[in-house]
Structure 1
Amino acid sequence: MYFHSLQFLFFLTLTFSLYWALHRHKWPRLGVLMVASVFFYSMWTPWPLVLFLGATGINHLCIKGFRRSQKPGVRKALLTLSIVSTLGVLCTFKYADLFRETAVALLGPLGLHVRTQPFGLLLPVGLSFFTFQALSYVIDQYRGEIEKEHSFFEHLLYLLFFPHLVAGPIVRASHLIERFDDTPSLTADEGGRGLYRIAVGLAKKLIIADVLGSGLVDPVFGSPEAYTSAECFVAAVAYSFELYFDFSAYSDIAIGTAALFGFKFAENFNRPYLATNLFDFWARWHISLSNWLRDYLYRPLGGNRVSKPRALLNLMITMGLGGLWHGADWRFAIWGLAHGAMECVIRVWWWVTGKPPKEGKMAVVRAGLGWVATFTVVVLTRIVFRSPSLAHAGEMYLRLFEGSLGLANVSTLVWTMLAVAAVSHVTPLSLFHKAGDLFVRMPVPVRAVVLVLVGLGVRHLTSVETRPYVYFQF
């Protein structure tokens, strides 16, 4: 059941009605959310819920153990057990075949026998997001950053809450589980803003992302040899916009949906294509993941509090593993390492020259050049991210730099959506908020009509087949 489906609108309406009918009573309202979350996930396949249940059970017992023990060795052992078991589930179901293929390639020539048949394990939807959120909760409990010990039911609901379960954002405890005890409230304005975020998400997904994907990105990346260099370049730019508007659309709908139940999720994007360097880009793109990697990987490795060479190594490790998180293919690690290497260059440059001032005429010039360089790097490295293999990415790069001209295969609709994407991305956030204020002031029936028109009419207007969210594959 996708957020942009008619099924979800009915599901959300029913869940919303039951939740607020019981909102004054903690366990009945949480029970509604649990049943809704289990049903929502079961619409794909129910069996991974057993896996999630088991993983949560192990983590919950470990939390109980190290909260009650004063012995550092025992606490660290339980934390290690929790982390290893949680990552073990992720590695088994997501990376087992990647590790097997790698072992075959490396050990086969040496005469060592390695299983050649795929394991064929089905990757549960949302496993990566479940894993990172589960780890953050356990580690925060270990660090003492969460004062209360929650019940197993609350722990499980925190992980399975349907708005963020399958594609994020990665929600911290302070934004969800620590609010379970509070009697929720929802004003008319808050409800209107939640609906506004849902409407914006639907528009991003159905109007912009799907048109760019099916109208240009898929055909060009499928057969780059059939297109000119100019068309390949436009397709690479279009893919970056497709990915942003697709993923940020899901985040918008998740944030808006959570708001309808009285929960406030943190923002997950902040106009990333306006970044003037790669550090700035990752502070704006998939913010919940960037913050997770910073707080639970980069800083525990020593961050930049160690020697400069070690700080650069920590950065490469973080970016490489962050890239591999996106998929069971070494090309994702290469993509992450490419970003890491360029961030290392930037950091060394800052160490040598110092960070440039942010004011003055030269600052404007530097910002402009930085923006061009950053956007170019993001677009070009995304070719590896989008291509089905490194060999295919190589073909795309060869075609891209061949120098052939002509844009006959870029339709007027695609050009229009690229223009809409670019303009909306640079539009000041104040206008976005003013549009939200206008939506809030609309009568409730008018808001409902707007949502229905956006959710059901856009696909007909654009004549584009509805597509799944891109990040579901991760």
Structure 2
Amino acid sequence: MLSHSLHYVIFVIGVFALYWAVHRHFWPRMLVLLVASLVLYTGFTQLPQLIAQGNVTPEALLLAGMPLLIFLGGVTVDHLLVKGLGRAEGPGVRKLLVVLSIVSNLGMLAGFKYLELLRKTALALLGPWGVDVRPEPFHLLLPVGLSFFVFQSISYTVDVYRGKASSGHSFIEHLLYMLFFPRVVSGPIVRESELMAHFRQVPTLSPDDGGKAMFRIAVGLVKKLIIADVLGSGIVDPVFGSPHAYSSAECAVAAVAYTLELYYDFSGYSDIAIGVAALFGFRFPENFARPYLAKNLFEFWNRWHMSLSSWLRDYLYIPLGGNRRSKPRVLFNLMMVMVLGGLWHGADWRFAVWGAVHGVALCAVRCWWWFRGKQQEPGPVRVGLGMLATFTLVVLTRVVFRAPDMTHATEFYQRMLAGIPGLANVGPLVWTVLAVAIIAHTLPMKVYDLTARAFLKLPAPARAVVLVLIGLGIRQLASLEARPYVYLQF
């Protein structure tokens, strides 16, 4: 049940009605949200398909429900460790408990997401030397949203260890925090202080807050259905699928289009998640801040997928020493964070390459600042050049991110640099959506604020009509099939 589908809209409306009918009572409203979260996540398993087919044998149900059981097991282990942290007083015991939580979560991620990559790598490196390595794949399932689940789980345990989060939450609260349906699949990564700490507060929702939430959902639907999906199906998929069949100029346009598609796809999901959470009285952190207007790569990562960037900073970069160590160590820390952050996106070494390229570029910027000094207010020419250089690097590295493997990425680069002219395969619809995407990304935030105010002035029924028309009507008019979110694979 994707959040840009009609089924999701109906689902949210039903949960919304039940939730606000019992919102003054803690356990009933918690039960509504928890059941809704379990139902929605179950939709991403094979359970609904098995039930529809009548295949309800215990073995089949157990296998199909394994992703949910994995999540339940992970929450149970972490909850016990958090309760131990709340009671333990000795620093040694507390450190042991938090280490156990980190190892447990990373072990779960490594086992289900990276074990097959390690097997292939070991086979390629050790096989020629006669070392016996398993030749058959493990065929392990990868639960949807596991990467987000693990990072959010680690953040809670570490925050309890640091004294920044409470260990007094119940198991039900902990479980709902991890599986809260607006964000369970693709984030944003939410801290305890941003969600679980508010569970016991009686929620409120003013008409203006409800209107703002609906507007945010509408913006997310527009980003996903009208911009990201059109770019994806109109040029990105065909060109990346067969780059040799297109000109160099068309490959370059496809690379830019994919860069925009990825932003509008993921930020659209984040907008819908933030808007839906707001309908239930919760405020999620922003996840994007017009990243393609960044003047340098550090600023880009402060604007792109901000919940992940801040997680990597707070739970990896700073514990490694951050900027407080020697200059070589600072550069090492940057490289470690970017390579590991790259691998977080997928069990393929090309993601590590993508992260390493960004790491090298960040190190180069850092060295330049050390050498020349960081200017607080660069002139307009330098700002423009910085934005162009940053965007160009992002576009070029996105090829590795999008290609199925490094061989395919190399082929794409070669085709793009071959100097073959021609844009015959870029249709008017794609050009129009590209222009809309670029203009929308560069518009001042004041324009969005004015549009939101105009939306708020509409009566509630009119707002609902606008939301449905934008989210579903335009997609039907464009004859486009709803596409899954790109970040579902992570």
| TM-score band, normalised by shorter chain | over 0.9
Give the whole-Å Cα distance in 1 for the aligned partners of 2:165 and 2:346.
31
Residues 30-58 of structure 1: CA distance to partner in whole angstroms, max 9, x if unpaired?
Answer: 11000000000001114311111111111
Q: For 1:114-263, list aligned pairs within 5 A.
A: 114-147=133-166, 149-263=168-282
Give the whole-Å Cα distance in 1 for the aligned partners of 2:161 and 2:212.
36
Give the whole-Å Cα distance in 2 for the aligned partners of 1:446 and 1:303.
50
Question: Amino acid of the residue matched to residue 139 of structure 1?
Answer: V
Deviation of 1:94 (Å): 0.6
The answer for the alignment partner of 2:472 in structure 1 is 456
Equivalent position SS for 1:276: coil
The answer for the alignment partner of 1:407 in structure 2 is 423
- Given candidates 96, 105, 116, the residue that maps to 2:115 is 96
Give the whole-Å Cα distance in 2 for the aligned partners of 1:451 and 1:191.
13
Alignment root-mean-square deviation, CA: 0.8
Give the whole-Å Cα distance in 2 for the aligned partners of 1:358 and 1:147.
41
- Given candidates 370, 376, 379, the residue that maps to 2:395 is 379
Please give the TM-score of this superposition, normalised by the length of structure 1.
Answer: 0.98
Question: Amino acid of the residue matched to residue 8 of structure 2?
Answer: F
The answer for the alignment partner of 1:82 in structure 2 is 101
Structure 2 unaligned runs (5+)?
46-64
Residues 121-173 of structure 1: CA distance to partner in whole angstroms, max 9, x if unpaired?
Answer: 11110000000000000000010001452111101100000011000000111
The answer for the alignment partner of 1:395 in structure 2 is 411
Give the whole-Å Cα distance in 2 for the aligned partners of 1:175 and 1:11.
24
Q: For 1:54-65, list aligned pairs within 5 A.
A: 54-65=73-84
The answer for the alignment partner of 1:31 in structure 2 is 31
The answer for the alignment partner of 2:373 in structure 1 is 354
The answer for the alignment partner of 1:295 in structure 2 is 314
Equivalent position SS for 1:393: helix
Deviation of 1:70 (Å): 1.4
Give the whole-Å Cα distance in 2 for the aligned partners of 1:168 and 1:467.
18
The answer for the alignment partner of 1:17 in structure 2 is 17
Deviation of 1:435 (Å): 0.8
Say if 2:291 and 2:304, in contact at 8 Å, map to a contact too.
yes
The answer for the alignment partner of 1:465 in structure 2 is 481
Give the whole-Å Cα distance in 1 for the aligned partners of 2:161 and 2:169.
13
Give the whole-Å Cα distance in 1 for the aligned partners of 2:165 and 2:9.
34
Give the whole-Å Cα distance in 2 for the aligned partners of 1:60 and 1:175.
18
Give the whole-Å Cα distance in 2 for the aligned partners of 1:320 and 1:44.
29
Equivalent position SS for 1:299: helix
Give the whole-Å Cα distance in 2 for the aligned partners of 1:209 and 1:461.
16
The answer for the alignment partner of 2:325 in structure 1 is 306
Identity, % of aligned positions: 62
Give the whole-Å Cα distance in 1 for the aligned partners of 2:193 and 2:433.
38
Question: Amino acid of the residue matched to residue 414 of structure 1?
Answer: V
Give the whole-Å Cα distance in 2 for the aligned partners of 1:147 and 1:242.
39
Verify: 1:426 aligned to 2:442, yes or no: yes
| Number of residue-to-residue matches in the alignment | 471
The answer for the alignment partner of 1:319 in structure 2 is 338
Deviation of 1:458 (Å): 1.6
Say if 2:155 and 2:191, in contact at 8 Å, map to a contact too.
yes
Say if 2:265 and 2:485, in contact at 8 Å, map to a contact too.
yes
Which deviates the most, 346-355 or 148-157? 148-157
Deviation of 1:357 (Å): 3.5
Equivalent position SS for 1:170: coil
Say if 2:85 and 2:167, in contact at 8 Å, map to a contact too.
no
Deviation of 1:459 (Å): 1.5
Structure 1 unaligned runs (5+)?
none
Give the whole-Å Cα distance in 2 for the aligned partners of 1:16 and 1:334.
44
Give the whole-Å Cα distance in 2 for the aligned partners of 1:77 and 1:446.
56
Give the whole-Å Cα distance in 2 for the aligned partners of 1:315 and 1:413.
41
Residues 67-126 of structure 1: CA distance to partner in whole angstroms, max 9, x if unpaired?
Answer: 211111111111111111111111111111001000101111111000011101111100
Give the whole-Å Cα distance in 1 for the aligned partners of 2:460 and 2:90.
57
